[in-house]
Structures are given as structure tokens and as C-alpha cells.
Amino acid sequence: MTGEILKDIPLEELIDNAQNGDESAQNFLLKNYQPFIAKCVSEVCKRYIDPERDDEFSIGLSAFNEAIRLFSKDRGSSFLTFANLVIKRKVIDYIRSQNKYPISISLDETYDAEKMENPTEIEAVNDIYRLEQESWYRRQEILEFKERLATYKLTLLELSEVAPKHRDARDSAVKVARILRDNPKLSDFVEQKKKLPIKELAKIVDVSKKTLERNRKFILAIFIVLGEDYVFLNDYLKGLGQ
């Protein structure tokens, strides 16, 4: 298919096509998302990245291609959020290796598996790599979440102390956060004021003002998660507050 046709296809569909062996879709993604790749790499390197000259861009391009292959929409995250993490991880590994810093385990995806005699060994190594990747992604999410919490003058330590202990209470708080996020007027208020509109919220939820105040910090934290493409944190919310 030509680029003119491909540009009208939704991103997730292009990803699916590329994962199913459509080289035109894959090449289109690699070409048209180079500005996105350069931006991700630049955020790590803290400088302008020249796609024609900087080795870091090549690392980012390769990582973007890897993200296309590994992405799964079942995790609840957008592809670009996932790709952003993969790119940054690979570029960080590259920078550390160039500076002779200790680097985390990583496998060359072009590694010739036939050189490893035991298929079980191959599978075990790939499992280790996947677990190591997920661990890194999880840490990155937590760091980004901490930064968002800080804009609301909240901390992870506070959340651990104020989070409802019982499942029913947590479920109720998450439900309130979902209602809040789905209400454009109240959602905008929270985004701008960084606080709950308790009086207005109490009119549309089946929760007392006292309970809303008691769970205020937890509700705000869930509100933040619902507005972001967090892979692992959104996994935590599945089934809650429905």
C-alpha cells in the first residue's frame, strides 16, 4: 500500500498489520514516526538529536522497531507510551555502555538462537529478558507517577498510609475517581486546581462528603492514573470501580 493510503489507517491497525508481516506498514511506521523517536531520544540525551548524525537516533529507531514487535494492546497502554519506554531504555543502555558504566541485562534481538543447543535454555533466557524489561518499565512508571503526584502535593508514602484497607472501600474510591474523570467539567477543575470538588462531587456519587474527604488523596491518585497511559498501574485498576 502507498503512504497516502496508510496514513488514513489507525495506528493500532498499522501495528497489527506490521506484527502480521506487513512490511509496508512497518516501513511506514519507521519513517513517519522518526520525529517522535528523535523526541524520545532527545529527552534522554538532554540535547537536540540529529537523525542523520547521532548514533543515539539509530538506537532509538531500532528500539521503536522492537516496540512494534513486542506491543500488546491487552495491557491497556497506548503504543506510543510503550514505545517511549522501550526507546528510552535502549538509549540509556547504550549511553551506559559507551561510558563504561555497569549496564543491565539485555539481549541482542538478532542473536542466532541456533547457536544455543538447548531450546529450554533459549526460552529461559528470553523469559529473563522479558522479566528484566518489565521491571525497568515498572520503575519508569513509578518515577513518572511520583512526578505527577508531586504536582498535586502528594507522595507515594502518603498514599501507602491513606489507601483504603478494605476492598469495598477501595472499589468505591476508584468508582468515584472514574466518575470524576468522565465528567469534563469536574475533571477540568481537578486538573487546574489540583484538588477535589467535594461539594459538587457529593451531588453525583453515592458517597458522603465525610468519606470523600477521608479518601481524598487516594481518589486524586486514581484520577491521575486514569488520565495517563500507565501500563502496570492501570492493570491494578482492572475490575475495580466498575
Long-range contacts of 90-93 (CB under 8 A, 24+ apart): 90/59, 90/60, 90/62, 90/63, 90/66, 91/40, 91/41, 91/44, 91/45, 91/56, 91/59, 91/60, 91/63, 92/44
**Residues 175, 79 within the same domain:** no
Question: Which pLDDT score, from 0 to 100, does residue 50 have?
Answer: 83
Last residue of a domain, one of 84, 116, 151: 151
**Residues 230, 125 within the same domain:** no
Question: Which pLDDT score, from 0 to 100, does residue 108 have?
Answer: 40
Q: Does a structural domain hold residue 207?
A: yes
Say what the pTM is. Answer: 0.52
Question: Which pLDDT score, from 0 to 100, does residue 131 have?
Answer: 67
**Residues 88, 199 within the same domain:** no
Could you report the per-residue pLDDT of 106-123, keeping only the tens digit for each?
334 333 433 434 555 555
Q: Does a structural domain hold residue 9?
A: yes
Question: Which pLDDT score, from 0 to 100, does residue 151 have?
Answer: 92
Q: Which residues of the chain have pLDDT under 70?
A: 1-5, 75-77, 99-134, 136-137, 238-242
Question: Which pLDDT score, from 0 to 100, does residue 130 have?
Answer: 63
Distance (Å) of CA 189 to CA 13, 181, 192, 193, 204: 35, 10, 5, 6, 15
Question: Which pLDDT score, from 0 to 100, does residue 238 have?
Answer: 67
Q: Does a structural domain hold residue 29?
A: yes
Q: Which domain holds residue 27?
A: 3-151
Find the farthest-apart pair of alpha carbons in the chain and give their distance in angstroms, rounded.
67
H-assigned helices in the chain? 3-6, 11-19, 23-32, 34-45, 55-70, 79-98, 119-151, 156-162, 167-182, 184-193, 198-202, 209-214, 216-226, 231-237
